[in-house]
């Protein structure tokens, strides 16, 4: 009986996450409620709350799944995203991967941002996904340019991804333009330190 419950719980979790993703592709983030997700997943609202705690918990779980793949590639994968490449190449590859992630999951990113903004869960800087991204970006900057405020520059680079004009670009399919601009910024910043 216990195995069946675990299998049912795993199946429900997958159904809930899939339903939330599908709804986020079709609706604005604020229109994707726990009730709507539960109905689309074919489970009770209580099941969603039991598994994820809240709408915020659901959005965070979805984002965490997407971000984990990127984190593993950045820490254990092949260069240039993973270890072994120069810091500038790694930083460009990482920001390119973040932009690609954001472009593929624009609705989810917006829902995650909306959930954080409307909750009392603390500032974005406390979010584990942001903490990893910021730590990684600032470490690469500091490695290439120990003479600059790497922590602040990392906040500036990552903060741009949360601005409405940038979100709009991603929704409009202009991710390559954004990635190219970030590459120009990084190349300029890290070229200065080499001279």
The yes-or-no verdict on residue 90 having pLDDT over 90 is yes
Instruction: Indicate whether 120 and 181 sit together in one domain.
Output: yes
Among the candidates 34, 53, 72, a domain finishes at 53
Q: Which of 17-31, 45-59, 80-94, 109-123 has the lowest mean pLDDT?
A: 109-123
pLDDT at 194 exceeding the cut of 50: no
pLDDT at 38: 95
- For the ranges 8-22, 67-81, 108-122, the lowest mean pLDDT is seen at 108-122
Is the pLDDT reported for residue 60 higher than 50? yes
Q: What are phi and psi of 144, to 5 degrees?
A: -85, -35
Q: Return d(Cα 92, Cα 7) in angstroms, integer.
A: 41
Query: What pLDDT does 109 receive?
Result: 72
Residue environment code for 3-33, b if the CB has 16+ CB neighbours within 10 A, otherwise e = eeeeeeeeebbebbbebbbebbeeeebeebe
Which of 26 and 113 is assigned the larger pLDDT?
26
Do 45 and 53 meet the contact criterion of CB atoms below 8 Å apart? no
Structural domain for 103, as ranges: 55-194
Whether residues 105 and 168 fall in one domain: yes
Segment 7-16 shows an average pLDDT of: 89
Judged on CB neighbours under 10 Å (0-12, 13-18, 19+), 98 is: buried
Least confident of 13-17, 113-117, 124-128, 188-192: 113-117
Shared domain check, 61 and 39: no
d(CA 64, CA 71): 10
Mean of pLDDT values over 108-113: 69
* CA 95, chain centre distance (Å): 11
Q: Confidence band (pLDDT; 50, 70, 90) for 46?
A: very high
pLDDT for 195 equals 40
Instruction: Based on the fold, state whether residues 157 and 69 are members of the same structural domain.
Output: yes
126 CB-near residues (< 8 Å, 6+ apart): none
Same structural domain for residues 30 and 82? no
Q: What is the pLDDT of residues 141-191, one digit of tens each?
A: 999 999 999 999 999 999 888 788 888 888 888 999 999 999 999 999 998
Question: What pLDDT was estimated at residue 5?
Answer: 56
pLDDT score at 113: 67
Three-state SS sequence of the chain: CHHHHHHHHHHHHHHHHHHHHHHHHHCCHHHCCHHHHHHHHCCCHHHHHHHHCCHHHHHHHHHHHHHHHHHHHHHHCCCCCCCCCCHHHHHHHHHHHHHHHHHHCHHHHHHHHHHHHCCCCCCHHHCHHHHHHHHHHHHHHHHHCCCCCHHHHHHHHHHHHHCHHHHHHHHCCCHHHHHHHHHHHHHHHHHHHHC
Residue 120 pLDDT grade (very low, low, confident, very high; cuts 50, 70, 90): low
- What is this structure's pTM? 0.75
Residues 37 and 64 in one domain: no
């Amino acid at each position: 009986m216990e195995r069946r419950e675990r299998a049912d719980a795993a199946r429900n979790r997958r159904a809930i996450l899939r339903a939330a993703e599908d709804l986020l592709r079709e609706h604005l983030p604020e229109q994707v409620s726990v009730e709507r997700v539960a109905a689309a997943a074919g489970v009770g609202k209580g099941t969603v709350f039991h598994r994820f705690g809240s709408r915020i918990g659901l959005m965070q779980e979805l984002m965490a799944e997407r971000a984990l793949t990127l984190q593993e590639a950045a820490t254990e994968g092949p260069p240039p995203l993973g270890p072994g490449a120069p810091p500038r190449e790694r930083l460009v590859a990482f920001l390119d991967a973040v932009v690609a992630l954001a472009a593929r999951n624009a609705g989810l990113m917006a829902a995650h941002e909306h959930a954080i903004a409307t909750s009392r869960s603390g500032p974005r800087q406390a979010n584990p996904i942001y903490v990893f991204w910021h730590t990684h970006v600032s470490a690469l900057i500091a490695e290439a340019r120990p003479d600059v405020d790497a922590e602040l520059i990392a906040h500036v680079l990552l903060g741009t991804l949360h601005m409405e004009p940038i979100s709009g670009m991603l929704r409009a399919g202009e991710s390559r333009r954004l990635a190219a601009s970030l590459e120009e910024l990084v190349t300029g910043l890290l070229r200065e330190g080499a001279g």
